[in-house]
Structure 1
Amino acid sequence: MQKGSPLQINNVAFIGTGIMGERIAGHLMDAGYKLTVHNRTREKAEGLVARGARWADSPAEAAADADVVFTMVGYPTDVEDVYLATDGLIRAAKRGAWLIDLTTSSPQLARDIHDAAEVEDKHAFDCPVTGGEQGAIDGTLTLIIGAAEKDVAPVMPLLECFSSKRFFFDQPGGGQTAKLCNQVSLASCMVGYADALALAEQSGIDAEKVLEVMASGTGGSGASRTLAPKSLAGDYKPGFLAEHLRKDIALALQRSEDLDITLPGAETAFTLFDMLCQIGGSRMGTQALTLLYQEEGTCAAAGLDWSLLEQGDEGDDHECCCGHDHGDGEHECCGGHGHHHGEGHECHCHDGEGAE
């Protein structure tokens, strides 16, 4: 993957300026890189444009003159369209360009993109992130890289702009697999603290003090430390969208099926987050999981509607967590990806991922 001569980086493109993407792109601008941005909803890129970034009307236009292209979109289907469509990055980017996907996506799709890029004399690798919205703001994210450190040396200065830790998994798709491991643990930790808070509250003891106990012993986690206080305060503003964690768990569960192993914790977490999304919480922060334990009136005040779950059970059609309305018949859920959608496929692109 690594080129023999040093890479002169002048132009950088960033596609997907959502909750996380905007912050990361800002750090690249702070480091002095000339930035071109594209997002499905232009409004979410206006802050970067106001700072001097150039707006592009499409991913292909953004990548045309870029030495390095970053992507941070919502779902594997979005990644696939951005990279592998007829006018996608694999064809639109110039020879020698580096294509770095920060989205949490499918390991197999990451391998496919890497291989397709190499054929075109371009270099692609998966680089999902973790560290939360605060990590993106502070520029201290952890990067989980599906490549060897020596192979991505030419672009390390850019990666260092918005990260404090970088882990290398030495093979295409390795970063995505490691990120899914992280998400499986995160999801189970969130269910754990939601259970604990429900038990404390229903028992009539001080839930905040229970969190202090957990933090002082072995029962605490990063999730209980950073997200549980928001749950108690009724703050469900998204740092990381519930629908995106549901997507991540689904990807992990599909991989577990491929390996013929069972992940009971992940299965439980998926059921709960899927329920939250179905009743109107898909665009809430993941900490809204605790609303599932509350009285119906509390849920309604937060914007949730339990009748939507009943309607979903009654209907024949459904929307799976990949964001596509499949209707009747068999379908492949968001853990998978197919490179041929067929006629009539409508992609539901998203504006980028939240903090993870």
Structure 2
Amino acid sequence: MPTDKATRSAVVLFRDPARGDSYKAALQEDHDVIENIAVLEHQNLLTCSDISNIVNEHLFGKGFAAMIFTSQNAVHALNKAVNLWVNEKATSHGEMLNCDDIKEYRWARWKKLLNIPVFVVGRATGAACLFQLFEGRSRNSCDIRGENTGKASALLSEILEFCNASSFLENKRPKLLFFCGDQRRDTLPKGIAESNKAELVEMISYTTVSRDQQKVKDELLGAIDRITTKMHSVGCASDSSQPLVNCSSSSSTQDQTVATIWMVLFSPSGARVVAPILDEILEQGIFVQDAPNTKYRVVFRMAAIGHTTASELVKLGIDEQSIVKANVPNEHGIRNALACW
């Protein structure tokens, strides 16, 4: 694990800062400036009726053997829908029922669903389940599996092993409940279907939409301005008051590297938003004027949370050899990847 702070380097995390600052906390050990820019928005699709139907199916139908989550967004969407359902007003023959009684009744029914195993991809999704769905219960009291898998293909193996054991004990194919987004990959559904070892029920829990590209660009330019100002004041002793300037790299003045700015992407859809913005910015180049005949060039590096995001960057025209990939899809994986570049 790296311990020495990198000289004149910064990181832009293209993720919603509202999702927590664990990445910032890890990376600020090695870099001078950390910026967060949200590039995607997630809209919840689950309704109170969906939750009611799920609970009824579990209690009075065939029942579910396990739940599956491959993203924190699905956990957020489910948690929000459950809370709306629990607090939804109820009537009988036109008369309002006692709200406290209804809440207690619904919570009791929902918690029975939490007695089944929960499969997740990665520790971050597991932590989201623990603190949102299980309301902070002790880890030992929750059956959360797959936190060390890191990717869907590895989780698939664990799920199929579970299905084998469940089929043997129950003498029937288990029914699995998969909460996912509208852009989910086919790895789990296809693998489970081809195995014929379980019945999979998919609940599209949220949809992902891109933020306005101009807003993202403006926020990125603002972040770059703050970063280069900070880098200049830290590393250039001669005249740190000079402003950031954009100019062509063909200038006759001497160009030297002043700072490395890491651009860290967390999803293929996020990469599709950011790539054209970076292309537009880099056509001009970003420089810091330090002295009349010296400009210090800012170097951009790309990093991806995993192979799927890196593959999308390659499709968008980024040289694969220039993309740093985290071996583990979390803040420690990103930190190590940047440090080892």
- State the TM-score, normalizing by the size of structure 1: 0.33
Higher strand share: 2
Q: Which has the larger radius of gyration?
A: 2
